[in-house]
Chains A and B, each alone.
Chain A
């Protein structure tokens, strides 16, 4: 049992990170903390893919002509490069939205935003910089 756990410790970390992140996304009312949770959740998946591609004792997948060399699988690693880019874009967009929400509602706490009066929702958000530009 212990040996089995020790042999797959990186997957255990994946599960811990995944649950931590998902819990933060669901349970936290603060929008920034939700975003942090989402990042942790996505990072756990990156580690999952990287662990999948790693062979025990494998080296970097650069052909050296020796048939006995054990290579790691580069494909999951490359896939995760794409997923990291997507994750960065998601985080950036999320944080930009939080900035705008803070401008419009004066809060980044979900319960306060939901409690904000519907009658005030129709007002244009205050954006002094763009207003001045126009």
Chain B
């Protein structure tokens, strides 16, 4: 029994959340649906940790769905790279689900709660599948499972703000165009190689006489995933989607959703097209690096001029995604591990920040803007202190996780001797202090408006929030685990396809 569970772990990671989702949808009691979601994400977290410990030494697990041998059947591959991503996603998914109880009770109608958690589980299960699958077309299916479910979740923000409906509609349309682009690309690559298995594609592509079709297929696949990863200039769906979604959903999406798409991008570059480095190198240095830098600056500058707190940090997410993409696009072991370190740390930072904003919104009963959170540092000290820690981590203060990310990214850039890039990254880091300072100044240094009612802090939100905040400090002081795991991930990615 135990052995059977262990060998089927990769499948269970996807199946458990997906199976629990329909039960959650029909449950009339919100609390029970939440317990189901918690069980689903908890089991996934344990499974991901187990998988990570197995793949720690560079072992790669290949799981054949339905016992069909690849390349005929669908294969799940868990190596050091995907298991690190899975641990980050499932860990933050679990903590967010913990905090979701109160946030959902405040923002979502009671009768919709069951359906909310069903969509919640579908998003999480779909994203796990997205990371593990080694079948290019199966990837599209998981992409759409998670995308359609997140559209529903974002749309549920309509209970408090009707603009959530428009944001989710735009995400649906832009996401569907992106996913269809990806499918077109897969069609071209299938026409060249005659296979859908990623490993098989990588083996056949160098010898296949692809010609123009190879370039077109590669371009479409990458363009499609750029939309999903919200890389500049196709990030436009993200600020509105994160800004108007219910707080719990903003937290979940900011922490884990784009991470999966970024990981898939890395897989396309280094696994599928690992055998044809000439086109990957051109694409990375001429397209992805400029786009990443553009995203860093556009996101940071938009965040500086934004007064709505949720949208401000959504813009900041665009910038942070730029940092991750920049690390991955350097295509050196140091660069890719810097990207993976930031995938983990950014999940901790943004998970914490959006959870804290959720706490503010729940207590205020209004949107969090620079105006409404004036003086909130003294009114909600527990939540605001955790927010401060995550904010400092975002700015890259030493002894926080964000500093480790910046440190390794800067070291990776130094290795490539591109000082222009280095200067741009440092300038953008300094710029990010501007919007962080704006928020912190309003929160801590200005008095609350007179006759403001007393705000209640709910432990159901600040306990998971503090776990995330302490995580930010822990991984800032002892970064050994994530640095080691990220290095292995880079080795697995670069060694896998070549």
- Chain B residues within 8 Å of A75, by CB: 196
- Chain B residues within 8 Å of A52, by CB: 187, 190-191
Query: Whole-angstrom distance from the CB of B82 to the nearest CB of chain A?
Result: 23
Q: Which of A2-10, A60-68, A100-108 contacts B (4 or more CB under 8 A)?
A: A100-108
| 16 pairs of residues in contact across A and B, judged by CB atoms under 8 Å | A34-B173, A38-B176, A41-B177, A41-B180, A49-B183, A52-B187, A52-B190, A83-B183, A90-B148, A93-B151, A94-B173, A94-B176, A101-B166, A105-B162, A118-B163, A122-B161
> Given A45-B183, A93-B172: A86 and B141 within 8 A (CB)?
yes
> Given A45-B180, A93-B152: A124 and B169 within 8 A (CB)?
no
- The answer to whether A22 and B155 have CB atoms under 8 Å apart is no
Instruction: Tell me, in angstroms, the Cα distance from A118 to B159 when the chains sit together.
Output: 15
Which residues in window 166-190 of B have CB below 8 A to A? 166, 168-169, 172-173, 176-177, 179-180, 183-184, 187, 190
Report if A17 contacts B (CB, 8 A). Answer: no
- The answer to whether A100 and B165 have CB atoms under 8 Å apart is yes
Report if A42 contacts B (CB, 8 A). Answer: yes
- Chain B residues within 8 Å of A41, by CB: 177, 180
Query: Whole-angstrom distance from the CB of A48 to the nearest CB of chain B?
Result: 6
- The answer to whether B162 and A125 have CB atoms under 8 Å apart is yes
- Chain B residues within 8 Å of A48, by CB: 184, 187
- Chain B residues within 8 Å of A98, by CB: 169
- Chain A residues within 8 Å of B191, by CB: 52
Beyond contacts A49-B187, A93-B152, A97-B172: 19 other A-B pairs, Cβ-Cβ < 8 A, are A22-B177, A31-B169, A34-B173, A38-B176, A42-B180, A49-B183, A86-B144, A89-B144, A90-B144, A90-B172, A93-B148, A93-B151, A94-B172, A97-B155, A98-B169, A100-B165, A104-B165, A121-B162, A122-B160
- The answer to whether B137 and A79 have CB atoms under 8 Å apart is yes
- Chain A residues within 8 Å of B148, by CB: 89-90, 93
Query: Whole-angstrom distance from the CB of A58 to the nearest CB of chain B?
Result: 15
Report if A82 contacts B (CB, 8 A). Answer: yes
Interface string of B190-217 (1 = CB under 8 A from A): 1100001000000000000000000000
- The answer to whether B177 and A123 have CB atoms under 8 Å apart is no
- Chain A residues within 8 Å of B162, by CB: 104-105, 121, 123, 125
Instruction: Tell me, in angstroms, the Cα distance from A45 to B187 when the chains sit together.
Output: 9
- The answer to whether A76 and B190 have CB atoms under 8 Å apart is yes
- The answer to whether A100 and B155 have CB atoms under 8 Å apart is yes
Return the contact of A121 from the options B152, B161, B187 (Cβ within 8 A): B161
Which residues in window 17-74 of A have CB below 8 A to B? 22, 25, 31, 34-35, 38, 41-42, 45, 48-49, 52
- Find the A residue at minimum CB distance from B110: A134
Report if A16 contacts B (CB, 8 A). Answer: no
- The answer to whether A25 and B367 have CB atoms under 8 Å apart is no
Instruction: Tell me, in angstroms, the Cα distance from A124 to B160 when the chains sit together.
Output: 6
Query: Whole-angstrom distance from the CB of B145 to the nearest CB of chain A?
Result: 9
Report if A113 contacts B (CB, 8 A). Answer: yes
Report if B288 contacts A (CB, 8 A). Answer: no
- Chain A residues within 8 Å of B183, by CB: 45, 49, 83
Query: Whole-angstrom distance from the CB of A72 to the nearest CB of chain B?
Result: 14
- Find the B residue at minimum CB distance from A73: B194
Interface string of B119-154 (1 = CB under 8 A from A): 000000000000000000100110010001001100
- Chain A residues within 8 Å of B176, by CB: 38, 42, 90, 94
Report if B158 contacts A (CB, 8 A). Answer: yes
Instruction: Tell me, in angstroms, the Cα distance from A90 to B177 when the chains sit together.
Output: 11
- The answer to whether B187 and A82 have CB atoms under 8 Å apart is no
- Chain A residues within 8 Å of B155, by CB: 97, 100
Interface string of B295-334 (1 = CB under 8 A from A): 0000000000000000000000000000000000000000
Which residues in window 355-401 of B have CB below 8 A to A? 366-367
Instruction: Tell me, in angstroms, the Cα distance from A89 to B176 when the chains sit together.
Output: 11
> Given A52-B187, A90-B148, A122-B161: A38 and B173 within 8 A (CB)?
yes
- The answer to whether B187 and A97 have CB atoms under 8 Å apart is no
- Chain A residues within 8 Å of B169, by CB: 31, 94, 97-98, 101
Query: Whole-angstrom distance from the CB of B440 to the nearest CB of chain A?
Result: 26
Instruction: Tell me, in angstroms, the Cα distance from A59 to B165 when the chains sit together.
Output: 47
- Find the A residue at minimum CB distance from B138: A82
- Find the B residue at minimum CB distance from A49: B187
- Chain B residues within 8 Å of A121, by CB: 161-163
- Chain A residues within 8 Å of B166, by CB: 101, 105, 113-114
- Chain A residues within 8 Å of B184, by CB: 45, 48
Instruction: Tell me, in angstroms, the Cα distance from A20 to B140 when the chains sit together.
Output: 23
Query: Whole-angstrom distance from the CB of A125 to the nearest CB of chain B?
Result: 5
Query: Whole-angstrom distance from the CB of A29 to the nearest CB of chain B?
Result: 12
Instruction: Tell me, in angstroms, the Cα distance from A124 to B168 when the chains sit together.
Output: 17
- Find the A residue at minimum CB distance from B149: A93
Instruction: Tell me, in angstroms, the Cα distance from A41 to B176 when the chains sit together.
Output: 10
Instruction: Tell me, in angstroms, the Cα distance from A29 to B366 when the chains sit together.
Output: 31
- The answer to whether A101 and B161 have CB atoms under 8 Å apart is no
- The answer to whether B165 and A25 have CB atoms under 8 Å apart is no
- Find the A residue at minimum CB distance from B179: A86
- Find the B residue at minimum CB distance from A101: B165
Instruction: Tell me, in angstroms, the Cα distance from A123 to B160 when the chains sit together.
Output: 7
- Chain A residues within 8 Å of B163, by CB: 118, 121
Query: Whole-angstrom distance from the CB of A24 to the nearest CB of chain B?
Result: 11
Instruction: Tell me, in angstroms, the Cα distance from A30 to B183 when the chains sit together.
Output: 26
- Chain B residues within 8 Å of A122, by CB: 160-161, 366-367
- Chain B residues within 8 Å of A97, by CB: 151, 155, 165, 168-169, 172
- Chain A residues within 8 Å of B158, by CB: 100, 104, 125
Query: Whole-angstrom distance from the CB of A39 to the nearest CB of chain B?
Result: 10
- Chain B residues within 8 Å of A34, by CB: 173
